[in-house]
Structure 1
Amino acid sequence: MRVKFYATFREIIGKKEIEVHGVRTVHELIDYLAEHYTPEIKRQLLGTPRVGPDKPIDGMVLVNGHNVLHLKGLDTELNEEDVVHIFPPAGGG
């Protein structure tokens, strides 16, 4: 599958886009990225105080254009032909 990164995640990963194979869920993808690139992406997506039962991801993960929060969250299934977009949390006020 193709995984595309935006904003600060591009800097953290060091790439705009990568190919990933063999992961079955969004959670496995995040674990893969933490292991093969940097644990910082997992910390920013899953380890902030804003993460909780109603918001399992701090940021936005789209699978084929659909926000995983409207699918099965971290358990959203992934296929080899999917395109995943990962955005960091948005700031503002």
Structure 2
Amino acid sequence: MKVRFYATFRELIGRKEIELNSSRTVGELIDYLAEHYNPEIKKQLLESPHAKEAGKAIDGMILVNGHNILHLKGLDTELKDDDEVHIFPPAGGG
């Protein structure tokens, strides 16, 4: 599967895109990225105070084949080898 990163996540991972075949769910993908690239990505996506306050599974946005995982099975969304995943960091603004 192709995994593409945007904005600050490109800096954290050190790449714009990677290809993987090892993750079965979005949750496993995040664990893999934290272990093999940078643990900060997991902290920002799953452990931020904003995600917990808002009662959301993630802080940021993850799309699988163009569909937001919050409208699928969240972190349990299943992944296949031909999927395309886009990972966006939390958006700021006012």
- Tell me if TM exceeds 0.5: yes
Task: Give the TM-score of the pair, scaled to structure 2.
Answer: 0.95
Task: Give the TM-score of the pair, scaled to structure 1.
Answer: 0.96
Aligned residue identity for 2:64: V
CA drift at 1:50:
1.6
SS at match of 2:51: coil
The superposition leaves residues 8-67 of structure 1 with CA deviations (integer Å, 9 ceiling, x where unpaired) of 000010000001112100000000000000100000000101223841000000000000
CA distance in 2, matches of 1:8, 1:38: 12
Structure 1 counterpart of 2:72: 71
CA distance in 2, matches of 1:54, 1:77: 22
Which consecutive unaligned segments of at least 5 residues does structure 2 have? none
SS at match of 1:33: helix
Structure 1 counterpart of 2:32: 32
Equivalent residue pairs, number: 93
Superposition RMSD on alpha carbons, in Å?
A: 1.0
* Range with greater deviation from structure 2 (36-45 or 53-62): 53-62
Aligned residue identity for 1:50: H
SS at match of 1:21: coil
The aligned runs of 1:8-87 (5 Å cut-off) are 8-52=8-52, 54-87=55-88
CA distance in 2, matches of 1:18, 1:88: 17
More helix as a share of residues: 2
Q: List structure 1 segments (4+ residues) > 4 angstroms apart after TM superposition.
A: none
Give the % identical residues.
73
SS at match of 2:43: helix
